[in-house]
Amino acid sequence: MVYTLRERLEQSWNSTTLSITSLHHIPRTNGTVKATTKNIKNILTKMVVTYKDWAEKLPFALWGYRTSIRALTRATPYYLVYGSEAILPIEVEIQSLRVLAETKVLEEDWMKQRYEQLALIDEKRARAQYHAQGYQKRIAKAFNKKVRPRNLKKGTWF
């Protein structure tokens, strides 16, 4: 029986450990899913005091994960999805310069600016893809430096 993520989280609320499983039907994304799960788990272990309060801290951990810049894309996941940087709750409360600038803009001008941002989102995503490919090439190059070529002959093991 396959459970959705929500059902799995509801089941594990009463357990002592957080175990999130992924579906294994897309092989090329398994590494990404495992890395993301590992990072979120690491964030949660730093935030959680007792094993019972992880469910309360999960939204904050996800917020932090989604709004942090990735080396792979040089952008935040939030930025790649919505086309603008996230406004942190503290920025609304203290009125940062960015929030003040947006509150003084007329609604028509704001909608026009937002439409322009959304029109450029494909370009931003393409740029992130370009950075991701370059990053992967650098990682592969660093990994391949450690590989020693060996000439194997028929009948030899090593």
**Of residues 84, 40, 80, the one with CA closest to residue 59:** 40
What is the predicted pLDDT for the residue at 5? 62
Q: How many CB atoms lie within 10 A of CB 124?
A: 16
Please say whether the dihedral angle defined by the alpha carbons of residues 61, 63, 69 and 72, taken in this order, is positive or negative: positive
- Which tens digits make up the pLDDT trace of 4-22? 666 665 665 555 454 555 5
What is the predicted pLDDT for the residue at 14? 52
Separation CA 152–CA 26 (nearest Å): 35
Predicted TM-score (pTM) of this structure: 0.52
Residues 6+ apart with CB under 8 A from 39: 65
Q: How confident is the model at residue 34 (pLDDT cuts 50, 70, 90)?
A: confident
Average pLDDT of the chain is: 77
Q: Where are the chain's structural domains?
A: 1-66, 70-145
More confident call, 15 vs 142: 142
